[in-house]
Amino acid sequence: MSDGKAQSAAAPFDADLEEQLGSIVGDSHLLVDPDVVASYESDWTGRFRARARCVVRPGSTAQVAAVVGACRAAEVAVCVQGGNTGLVGGSVPVPGSVVLSTLRLDEIEPIDEVAGQVTVGAGRTLASLQQVVRPAGFDVGVDFAARESCTVGGMASTNAGGERVLRYGTMRAQVVGVEAVMPDGSVVTRLAGLPKDNTGYDLVSLLSGAEGTLGVITRLRLRLVPWFVARAVALVAVEGVSEAVELVRAARQLPSLEAAELFFPAGLDLVCRHAGVNPPFAAAHPAYVLLECADRDDPSDDLLAALEAAGDIVSDATVATDARGRHALWAYRESHTESINAEGIPVKLDVAVPLAALPEAVAKLPTAIEAVAPRARLILFGHVNEGNLHVNVLDALDDDEAVTEAVLKLVASYGGSISAEHGVGRAKREWLSLSRSTEEIAVMRSIKSALDPAGLLNPGVLL
């Protein structure tokens, strides 16, 4: 089953499989009605879509193992889906496959306050985990706008980044243990969360960022970080990307700095239009940086002093410390994705370049895109400290491949990454060699075929 697409379509339809799946998960958790299945068949942006055979929603690790076993025996591919907020098509099925939804795997164990860790079901959403850990003085180190829907299993599988990477790292840095069902149906459990444990290959890290191609994560042990209630957010207008990078370089001296985000007038206009909010400043500016500091005590004096010290770099600024004001400033940044989708389905690329190259890369992107899609509209934003740009190109779906190639080749020319945080999925599989050597891809293929020789899990994703 090396190409799941061909296999799933070619495999003889075996109605017994549905019967078996129904008896494993209970008939109410086997979805076969095309109208109900439809919502599992396309991604958040509407860019990727395929007809699944059915959706199965196991409620325990044992049920996941039984589902994987039944699909393996029937030679039908399994596509793993969490909150379905992924942006590279990794969570949509291949035609004729079984969608395994993890949403019922949402149990949470009591917080281990001594270790500062928690064990949680892979299907629990980030927001519902935040609601449990914050009252106990803890927080999850990764946060981003899809929090109400994305699951911790999906976050681990994509090694999600988001808005706090500069302080706490990506999702892989939060995952200290996993339980997973492997393609052969066996269950690997490594949930002790020992900070020191050098007993061989790091299977926990391997499954993080594997995009569901090596195993179905059923439970995770996550390290927790302190929940800082005292917060200050500054939205700063600057003259351009060089100034944005300079500002962030200075702000990084603040130990309480948690986020440094970047956006531009084109994105801000869309947000104001679609979210129905007024612009933050009387005049438009070439670029905007959002900084957030969080600490035990009010960090606003430190943040204001940093802005003062930045001098002429700051063209204008507005600061909020109360929850309402902070959310209003964050909305200018976090509403980008929804506002873009309200305009149409974008060609969406998530890339990173070395920070020193960010101003030049941003300057070259419009020309590179215009050369292949003259009528396209470019909306750029991102996580500035990591040189992570979200390149959204509207009115360019007909030139999807050409735009993708132009952007990814430009990024590769700077030694950048063609996927900073969303993963490779189905969207960027063909361009993997721009960021990974032939030898690295060969090693990845060896790992995949050692663990999943039949190509059962997420065929067509990543490799």
**Residues that bind ligand 2HG in the complex, under the rule CB under 6 A:** 144-145, 336-337, 348, 350, 390, 392
Q: Cα–Cα distances in Å, from 89 out to 81, 159, 211, 270, 428?
A: 11, 15, 11, 24, 9
Q: Which of 81, 208, 392, 417 binds ligand FAD (CB under 6 A)?
A: 81
Looking at the Cβ atoms of 59 and 89, the one nearer to ligand 2HG is: 89
* Residues 388 and 446: beta-carbon distance below 8 Å: no
**Amino acid symbol at 160:** A
Distance CA 152, CA 319 (A): 31
Q: Which of 61, 97, 119, 151 binds ligand FAD (CB under 6 A)?
A: 151
Q: Which residue is nearest to ligand FAD (CB)?
A: 154
Q: Which of 153, 193, 267, 280 binds ligand FAD (CB under 6 A)?
A: 153
Closest contact distance (angstroms) between CB of 144 and ligand 2HG is 6
| Piece of the chain touching ligand FAD by CB under 6 A; list 144-152, 198-206, 242-250, 407-415 | 144-152
Q: Which of 8, 20, 91, 417 binds ligand FAD (CB under 6 A)?
A: 91
**Amino acid symbol at 214:** L
Residue 348 contacts which entry, ligand 2HG, ligand FAD, none (Cβ below 5-8 A, type-dependent) = ligand 2HG
Residue 392 contacts which entry, ligand 2HG, ligand FAD, none (Cβ below 5-8 A, type-dependent) = ligand 2HG
Looking at the Cβ atoms of 48 and 144, the one nearer to ligand 2HG is: 144
First to last CA, the chain: 14
Closest contact distance (angstroms) between CB of 437 and ligand 2HG is 26
Q: Any contact of residue 460 with ligand FAD (CB under 6 A)?
A: no
Q: Any contact of residue 461 with ligand FAD (CB under 6 A)?
A: yes
Q: Any contact of residue 157 with ligand FAD (CB under 6 A)?
A: yes
Q: Any contact of residue 122 with ligand FAD (CB under 6 A)?
A: yes
Q: Cα–Cα distances in Å, from 335 out to 37, 260, 328, 342, 353?
A: 28, 16, 10, 11, 24
Closest contact distance (angstroms) between CB of 235 and ligand FAD is 18
Looking at the Cβ atoms of 216 and 257, the one nearer to ligand 2HG is: 257
Residue 82 contacts which entry, ligand FAD, ligand 2HG, none (Cβ below 5-8 A, type-dependent) = ligand FAD
Enumerate residues 6+ apart whose C-beta is below 8 A from 456.
Answer: 1, 4, 68, 71, 72, 77, 78, 183
Q: Which of 40, 48, 138, 144 binds ligand FAD (CB under 6 A)?
A: 144
Q: Any contact of residue 421 with ligand FAD (CB under 6 A)?
A: yes
Angle at 362 between CA 272 and CA 435, to 5 degrees: 115
Cross-strand bridge partners of residue 222: 118, 175
Q: Any contact of residue 85 with ligand FAD (CB under 6 A)?
A: yes
Which residues contribute to the site for ligand FAD (CB under 6 A)? Answer: 44, 80-87, 90-91, 102, 122, 144-146, 150-151, 153-155, 157-158, 160-162, 211-212, 216-217, 337, 421-422, 458, 461
